[in-house]
């Protein structure tokens, strides 16, 4: 039976991040993708021009329409935009007892545009993290959530442990903004694992965080362990960056057509 995964996030009109990247990634992993939109953005590879946030009641209506009809084997969140949307999403996730939830705490776009209102940070930390099977912040997001600078491997390890203490079952702090090897740090509540890959020499990419979290959710929907899901997702993102098409004049979108390297 085909597995199904749900993304709860914003729309990226350029197709490189958000709902569009998530659905492409689900398809690449052979998982049926469903979506709940929280916001619609007018953006391209150079930046975000406008954002329209959807009403929380409509976000809830989308969620209920899907959950009333189709089994959700995994879910991920992306851009949640503001506090009242976080509240309604969290309430629905709890009510439906959704397992395998990957929380990508989207706060700022690659271009630097703010995607989460400042007053929603506490909601992200206090309401969403306790629901997360895995939270996947980049360095800046990890610093805001954990409350201390995250600038190197040691502080990444500290932040991963701290995010689990805040309620997440596991944390993956991604080091895409560091120099040298592409380092991510996973803490599953018991063990720390450092995942390393050769850094692809592209100045800036668009949608890597969305793609990584969606790939992990897809693997969890397929029944993979968390460790295997994270490893497969990192390989997929590395390959998708390596073959990223030269589209647009800004950050390069990933190639979601690459074939995932899954364990037999």
CA 192 to chain centre: 20
Alpha-carbon torsion, ordered 21, 25, 26, 27, to 10 deg:
110
What pLDDT is attached to residue 114?
66
Fold of 4-253: 3.40.1190
Q: What percent of the chain clears pLDDT 90, i.e. is strictly above it?
A: 83
What pLDDT is attached to residue 231?
96
Q: What ranges do the domains of the chain cover?
A: 4-253
Over the stretch 198-221, which tens digit does the pLDDT of each residue have?
A: 888 887 899 999 999 999 999 999
Average pLDDT (162-183) is 92
What pLDDT is attached to residue 109?
66
pTM over 0.85: yes
Three-state DSSP at 51 gives strand
What pLDDT is attached to residue 118?
81
Task: Return d(Cα 254, Cα 250) in angstroms, integer.
Answer: 12
Look at the chain and count its residues.
264
Can you spell out the DSSP letters for 137-174?
A: --HHHHHHHHTS---SHHHHHHHHHHHHHTT-S-EEEE
Please name the residues in contact with 237: beta carbons below 8 A apart, sequence gap of 6 or more: 208, 211, 212, 215, 254
Over the stretch 39-52, which tens digit does the pLDDT of each residue have?
A: 999 999 999 999 99
Over the stretch 79-91, which tens digit does the pLDDT of each residue have?
A: 999 999 999 999 9
Over the stretch 218-261, which tens digit does the pLDDT of each residue have?
A: 999 999 999 999 999 999 999 999 999 999 999 999 999 998 87
What pLDDT is attached to residue 105?
95
């Amino acid at each position: 039976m085909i597995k199904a995964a749900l993304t709860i996030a914003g729309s990226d009109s350029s197709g490189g991040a958000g709902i569009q990247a998530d659905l492409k990634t689900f398809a690449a992993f052979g998982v049926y993708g469903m979506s709940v939109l929280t916001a619609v953005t007018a953006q391209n590879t150079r930046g975000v021009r406008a954002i329209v946030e959807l009403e929380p009641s409509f976000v809830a209506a989308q969620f209920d329409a899907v959950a009333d009809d189709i089994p959700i084997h995994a879910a991920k969140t992306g851009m949640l935009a503001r506090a009242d949307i976080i509240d309604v999403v969290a309430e629905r996730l709890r009510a439906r007892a959704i397992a395998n939830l990957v929380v990508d705490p989207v706060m700022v776009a690659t271009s630097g545009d703010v995607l989460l209102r400042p007053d929603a940070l506490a909601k992200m930390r206090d309401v969403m993290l306790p629901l997360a099977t895995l939270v996947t912040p980049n360095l800046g997001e990890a610093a805001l959530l954990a409350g201390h600078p995250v600038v190197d491997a040691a502080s990444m390890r500290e932040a991963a442990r701290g995010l689990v203490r805040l309620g997440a079952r596991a944390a993956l702090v991604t080091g895409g903004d560091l120099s040298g090897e592409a380092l991510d740090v996973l803490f599953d509540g018991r063990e720390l694992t450092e995942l390393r890959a050769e850094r692809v020499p592209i100045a800036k990419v668009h949608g890597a965080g969305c793609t990584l979290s969606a790939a992990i959710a897809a693997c969890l929907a397929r029944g993979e362990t968390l460790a295997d899901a994270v490893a497969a997702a990192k390989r997929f993102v590395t390959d998708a960056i390596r073959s990223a098409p030269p589209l647009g004049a800004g950050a390069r979108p990933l190639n979601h057509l690459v074939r995932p390297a899954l364990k037999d």
